[in-house]
Chain A
Amino acid sequence: MRKSSNVSTETRNIHLGYYAVLREQRGLSEERLATAAATPRALYEELRARHGFRLGVPQLRVVVNDEFGSWDTPLQEGDHVVFIPPVAGG
């Protein structure tokens, strides 16, 4: 965590939702997490390192507070974040 940024070491409380393959790999549908990750990209890499998620950022989209978001938009306290694996409806 220390290596990731010299901009800020403050932590944010993020609400995470997991679906499909990520839900199974995490073993949870949702959780609250205090993180120093400043962006969705950093947050996903932190989670990936911790839980061994096999999908990488290029295969995912990210939803922040019920809107498709950008990987590099700064996270805010209380954000609700969901990483979207490749979809397969129909």
Chain B
Amino acid sequence: MFRISGSPINPEALKTQLAAAGAGACVTFEGWVRDHNEGKRVRRLEYEAFVSMAEKEGACIVAGAREKFGLDHALCIHRVGTLEIGQIAVWVGASAPHRDEAFAACRYIIDEVKHRVPIWKKEHYIDGDSGWVHCEHCAQPGRHHAAETTPGESTAAPRIKAAP
């Protein structure tokens, strides 16, 4: 099962849903909001989802993982809304007869979710700037968007950064 949640994730409650008599392993993954990214200090994150498509695509990933790895259960919950540093943004859990499958499935699900599911993340920085992850650096240079500029800030510099 895959779900988008507007309220905080409760790992203990989710873990009980993975129980199975035949399961010898349970692996869970929590993605946390951290205070920095690509050299910038992050104050908070804002997640947005195309909920109907995200839940459809996410369910497809989780069902695919159950099949591929022979899992007993698998579950993924992704937050939307404003998240503070340290909060759980995404939770993945997989139970299986043996640990190899549980580890691999957990990794597979989070990788696929990040890659495919229509969820977007906006970083709000300590310096007052903000930006949509993966959307700012690939945009055309030299067309800085006025709405992303706070009053008094220079609009001269494009947001494109050189690769490290």
A: which residues have CB within 8 A of B? Answer: 17, 19-21, 23-25, 27, 52, 54-56, 59, 63, 66, 82, 84-90
| Residues of chain A lying within 8 A (CB to CB) of residue B108 | none
Whether A25 lies near B145 (C-beta < 8 A) is yes
A selection of 6 A-B contacts at a CB cut-off of 8 Å is: A17-B50, A21-B120, A24-B147, A54-B143, A66-B53, A89-B78
B: which residues have CB within 8 A of A? Answer: 31, 47-50, 52-54, 56, 78, 89-90, 110, 113-122, 132-136, 138-140, 143, 145, 147-148
Q: How far is the CB of B25 from chain A (nearest CB, A)?
A: 23
With A and B bound together, what is the CA distance between A76 and B48 in angstroms? Answer: 28
Whether B114 lies near A89 (C-beta < 8 A) is yes
New A-B contacts (14) at CB < 8 Å, excluding given A25-B145, A87-B114, A90-B110: A20-B120, A54-B139, A56-B140, A63-B53, A66-B53, A82-B53, A85-B134, A86-B134, A87-B115, A87-B117, A87-B118, A88-B114, A89-B121, A90-B90
With A and B bound together, what is the CA distance between A86 and B47 in angstroms? Answer: 13
